[in-house]
């Protein structure tokens, strides 16, 4: 048809730049055998660019729009409205108007039309833009079509579309608008077909929403639609909605609401045969596009016609595997307290250094436990480790077992964690812990010394070899025995003393101020840094004004600055390899971003007196000793009390000797990662200096082997980096599940408790005690500013959050288990804590007064 108008027959998925996402998908839909699409054309982005060129001032307005904050709704509303008015005021050039009129004549002079926006950034696997731009139904006559085409162009700058782009880092100038003009159909029923269940993610279940009339009634929320679920050519669930209203085409153009006749309101909009036929057509469309689809359909004279198909962008991806077996994936991030999306280099390094095979999905790492679930011993091992630390994972796995999704296989090899081996008796000797720590430190020193001498591909070869050493150090059988000894002794004390004397979670007090906990020492040592800086008011005043990471070089020019610099440097020497999300090598470390420490140091100076670190450790030690004496005295009064007391004492000694070491393997891993990162970034800097790379952090979007190849060849694929960056941004918007299956179904667990007051938020008790205070909802530890008595509420805490723990009175997290880092440190510091409180940061508002029940595991909102 020409440059400005293309028929559907001229369009395929490769024409997104010309016809936008919606137009490209409609062109593809029309090519699928057996799939009916109402005929139509696309007014191309060339026409849009011609219009925009007629008003150069719009470019300046768009530039101003790009500088706005995504939360400044008023400014966005005013600026976007100004741009829309300017676009709608532009007269469509005669040649474009003539091309549109010619296209309409080919669709039928007497037809009415649907005029629909089709932006180049919409309906992609990464971003749907659903509902962000405008659609006009039942448009009558060419003149009205031209006017509505202008409105569609202008709708690229609706407030909701602009906000969406700002939030998703999409440049307004890179997005162009095409317009779909389609012959209008008047359906008996219409709705949406999801070829995967949009709630659970199950790819084997198709979900159909249906209502009478046009789909606008459903989209705008005027009706409760019928909902049908289909699996394997069988309807497995149906809910018939009360459809009081329908939206119908008006004879004068546009649409109107119409009451559904009372006798039809409870009748299904589709027959059983139609439901199955629609689901089968949906599977055909899905197979063509290669991903689960969100499909808009209309039923006209018992014929299904399709007016849109887009990828379902909200589904969590499924790991790519080479077989068709059933798999059950458990989140590693929920165990490591880092559920953020990771970049490819971070994922690649984690997979290469992990002791067991790890699967990537949605920028997160998962372990497949299906093989373990297929044997009785494997199931027992999982429930003894994962299940005990996180009841939500345990309950989800139990649901999968109850469904027989992974049946028991007679004679299947035991594939669970080697709990028996790790739980083998071990002598309660502190020298064993000291020896393992010394070996770990020596290994890190050797690595750091050797890797400095490497360059080019030798760096990668050296790291690959060292990864095996990392596995040996991290998974030394004696180290795992020590960790398990601490954990099982703690569990034994809690279970037996609750049974014997009726006191819950006694181990939480007994593990305060244990030796060799490198993570809890980190928070106390930062208190000591505050003690060095506190006497120097000019240093304190300077730190309050710090904005960039070069501040350390300026400190020595101030009175007391030399001592302050030395104290911070010493702390960074010991802990500077740590940082938020530290299991991801691409995330910044404290040594790289020392400004992130400034707020923490200033908070310690403001909130505490000198000597707070020693005072806290002493208080915790005394509390543990008092608790031990009290427990032993009470147990001795029981029948067989002397023998029981001896056993309790033995377990207390074991837990205090061994539980602190729990944090060292992670500490050594992060040390190795930092040495790797420093060496890798030296190679990235060399590539930048050689003009191979534009930015050193572009390597974060390469896997470890790909990075090595770039170093070897001095050639990089920037299309790949750009694509990976877009995918990463899309992954950041996804919420990772704890447990899901190879069908894509997210299986959620529940706490199944009846001992919680109505309205309370349920979680897992991990550190005993009850505390009441002001909730501080925090997402970034570098921006946290606490007052005495505050309670931290956050999605998760990894070791980098530990310095904040000295400033709070309690802890609530959405993610966590009995032995995750936040729980361990909360117990050592004596902070009541509840973890695994789903959606805590949404249900608790910053500043609300809450009560945390760390012994029983729930949170009350008081105001």
Count of beta carbons in the 10 Å neighbourhood of residue 565 = 20
Among residues 172, 334, 821, 853, the one annotated as catalytic is 821
> Cα–Cα–Cα angle for 696, 698, 704, nearest 5°?
100
Q: What are phi and psi of 621, to 5 degrees?
A: -65, -45
For 79, other C-beta atoms within 10 Å of its C-beta total 21
The token pair that represents 561 in the structure block: 């600055």
Which tokens go with 799? 């070791």
How far, in whole angstroms, is CA 689 from its chain's centroid? 35
Angle at 226 (CA atoms; ends 223, 232), nearest 5 degrees: 155
Q: Report helix, strand and coil shares of the chain as percent, to nearest 5.
A: 50, 15, 35
Known catalytic residue: 536?
A: no
Q: What's the rounded Cα separation, in Å, for the pair 768 and 827?
A: 8
Residue 521: partners with Cβ closer than 8 Å, 6 or more residues away: none
Largest CA distance in the chain: 101
- Among residues 802, 844, 796, 861, the alpha carbon closest in space to that of 827 is found at 802
CA dihedral 708, 688, 363, 703 (to 10 degrees): -10
d(CA 156, CA 178): 10
700, 343 contact by CB (below 8 A): yes
Cα separation, 102 vs 92, whole angstroms = 15
Cβ-based burial of 616 (10 A; exposed 0-12, middle 13-18, buried ≥19): buried
How many angstroms separate the CA atoms of 115 and 43, rounded? 10
Per the CB < 8 A criterion, the answer to whether 39 and 105 are in contact is no
DSSP 417: -
Q: Is 321 exposed, middle or buried (0-12, 13-18, 19+ CB in 10 A)?
A: exposed
Closest by Cα among 705, 699, 735 to 718? 699
Contacts of residue 15, defined as CB under 8 A and 6 or more positions apart, other chains included, come to 6, 23, 24, 27
Q: How many helices (H) and strands (E) does the chain have?
A: 32, 25
Query: 735 — alpha (psi -120 to 50), left (phi > 0) or beta?
Result: beta
Strand 40-43 relative to strand 858-861: parallel, antiparallel, unpaired? unpaired
Kindly state the tokens that stand for 594.
């020392």
Structure tokens at 365: 């790492």
For tokens 């600026």, name the residue.
79
Kindly list the catalytic residues.
821
């Amino acid at each position: 048809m020409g440059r400005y108008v293309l028929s559907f027959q001229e369009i395929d998925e490769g024409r997104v730049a010309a016809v936008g996402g919606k137009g490209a998908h409609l062109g593809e839909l029309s090519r699928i055998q057996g799939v009916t699409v109402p005929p139509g054309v696309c007014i191309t982005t060339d026409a849009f660019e011609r219009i925009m060129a007629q008003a150069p001032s719009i470019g300046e307005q768009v530039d101003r729009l790009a500088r706005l904050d995504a939360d400044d709704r008023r400014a966005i509303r005013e600026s976007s409205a100004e741009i829309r008015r300017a676009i709608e005021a532009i007269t469509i050039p005669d040649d474009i108007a003539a091309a549109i009129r010619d296209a309409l004549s080919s669709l039928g002079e007497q037809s009415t039309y649907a005029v629909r926006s089709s932006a180049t950034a919409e309906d992609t696997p990464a971003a749907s833009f659903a509902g962000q731009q405008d659609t006009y139904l039942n448009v009558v006559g060419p003149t009205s079509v031209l006017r509505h085409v202008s409105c569609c162009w202008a709708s690229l700058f609706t407030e909701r579309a602009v906000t969406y782009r700002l939030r998703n880092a999409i440049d307004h100038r890179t997005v162009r608008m095409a317009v779909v003009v389609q012959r209008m159909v008047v359906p008996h029923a219409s709705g949406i077909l999801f070829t995967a269940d949009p709630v659970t993610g199950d790819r084997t279940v198709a979900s159909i929403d249906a209502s009478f009339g046009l789909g606008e009634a459903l989209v705008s929320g005027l009706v409760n639609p019928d909902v049908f679920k289909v699996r394997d050519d069988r309807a497995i669930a149906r809910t018939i909605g009360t459809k009081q209203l329908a939206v119908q085409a008006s004879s004068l153009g546009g649409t109107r609401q119409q009451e559904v006749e009372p006798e039809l309101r409870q009748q299904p909009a589709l027959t059983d045969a139609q439901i199955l036929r629609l689901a089968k057509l949906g599977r055909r469309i899905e197979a063509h596009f290669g991903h689960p689809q969100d499909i808009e359909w209309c039923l006209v004279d018992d014929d299904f016609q399709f007016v849109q198909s887009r990828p379902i962008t909200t589904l969590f991806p499924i790991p790519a595997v080479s077989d068709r077996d059933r798999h059950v994936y458990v989140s590693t991030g929920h165990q490591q307290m880092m559920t953020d999306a990771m970049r490819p280099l971070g994922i690649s390094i984690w997979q290469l250094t992990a002791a067991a095979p790890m699967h990537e999905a949605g920028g997160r790492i998962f372990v497949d436990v299906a093989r373990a679930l297929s044997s009785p011993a494997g199931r027992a091992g999982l429930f003894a480790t994962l299940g005990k630390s996180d009841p939500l994972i345990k309950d989800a796995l139990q649901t999968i077992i109850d469904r027989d999704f992974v049946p028991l296989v007679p004679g299947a090899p035991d594939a669970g964690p080697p709990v028996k081996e790790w739980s083998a008796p071990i002598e309660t000797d502190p020298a064993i812990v000291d020896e393992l720590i010394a070996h770990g430190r020596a290994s890190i020193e050797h690595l750091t010394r050797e890797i400095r001498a490497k360059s080019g591909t030798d760096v990668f070869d050296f790291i690959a070899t060292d990864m095996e050493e990392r596995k040996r150090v991290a998974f030394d059988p004696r180290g795992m025995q020590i960790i398990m000894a601490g954990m099982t002794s703690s569990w034994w004390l809690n279970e037996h003393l609750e049974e014997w004397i009726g006191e819950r979670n006694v181990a939480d007090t007994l593990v305060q101020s244990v030796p060799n906990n490198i993570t809890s020492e980190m928070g106390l040592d930062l208190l000591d840094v505050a003690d060095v800086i506190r006497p120097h008011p000019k240093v304190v005043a300077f730190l309050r004004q710090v904005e960039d990471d070069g501040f350390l070089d300026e400190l020595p020019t101030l009175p007391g600055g030399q001592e302050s610099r030395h104290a911070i440097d010493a702390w960074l020497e010991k802990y500077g390899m740590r940082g938020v999300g530290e299991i991801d090598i691409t995330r910044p470390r404290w040594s790289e971003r020392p400004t992130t420490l400034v707020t923490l140091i200033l908070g310690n100076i403001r909130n505490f007196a000198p000597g707070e670190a020693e005072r806290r450790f002493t208080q915790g030690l005394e509390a543990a000793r008092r608790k031990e004496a009290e427990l032993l005295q009470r147990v001795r009064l029981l029948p067989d009390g002397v023998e029981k007391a001896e056993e309790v004492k033995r377990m207390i000694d074991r837990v205090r000797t061994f539980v602190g070491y729990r944090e060292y393997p992670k500490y050594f891993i992060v040390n190795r990662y930092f040495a790797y990162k420093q060496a890798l970034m030296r190679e990235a800097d060399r590539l930048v200096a050689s003009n191979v790379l534009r930015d050193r952090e572009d390597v974060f979007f390469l896997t470890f082997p790909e990075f090595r190849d770039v170093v070897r060849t001095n050639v990089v694929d920037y299309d790949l980096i750009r694509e990976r960056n877009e995918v990463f941004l899309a992954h950041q918007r996804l919420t990772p599940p704890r447990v899901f299956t190879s069908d894509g179904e997210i299986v959620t667990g529940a706490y199944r408790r009846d001992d919680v007051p109505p309205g309370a938020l349920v979680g897992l008790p991990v550190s005993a005690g009850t505390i009441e205070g002001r909730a501080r909802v925090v997402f970034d530890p570098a921006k946290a500013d606490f007052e005495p008595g505050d309670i931290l509420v956050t999605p998760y805490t990894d070791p980098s959050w530990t310095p904040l723990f000295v400033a709070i009175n309690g802890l609530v997290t959405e993610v966590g288990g009995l032995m995750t880092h936040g729980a361990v440190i909360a117990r050592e510091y004596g902070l009541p804590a509840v973890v695994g409180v789903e959606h805590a940061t949404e249900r608790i508002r910053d500043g609300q007064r809450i009560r945390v029940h760390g012994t029983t595991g729930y949170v009350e909102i008081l105001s």
